Amino acid sequence: MWIHRWGQVSLVLYLTGLTVVPRVSIRQRLGLAFSGMPYLFLFHVFDLMMWAESRLLTEIASQHYDLAQFDLWFGFVKFYNHFSVLSLKQVAPLLLLGLQWSLLQQVRSRKDD
């Protein structure tokens, strides 16, 4: 199933990015991996829900493609779905890793002070 493959791609991107983070011990890498996995899973659950909502809106409310009957929720869901397919699924694991790394750097700088 293609949805399962997106999860695998995100996991591979996240773990690959985790291997290139500088000045991080194996123990800290494992900590980052275990703390990041729930967020990665929640992202995919949310993404799957938005995909299903987009499919449902396409079937039920196709009249909202007409700008005269434009619905804000319809536009948001469609924009998110296209943005997610084009770039967000590939970038989200790396953004999560970047956020984790920056938080780790803040903790290190506070510890050094």
Contact 57, 65 (CB under 8 A): no
Residue 99 has pLDDT above 80, yes or no: yes
The amino acid at 55? R
pTM of the entire structure? 0.78
pLDDT tens sequence across 9-35: 888 888 888 888 888 889 998 999 999
Mean pLDDT over all residues of the chain? 85
DSSP label at 111? H
Handedness of CA 65, 68, 74, 75 (dihedral sign): positive
The amino acid at 45? V
Residue 69 has pLDDT above 80, yes or no: no
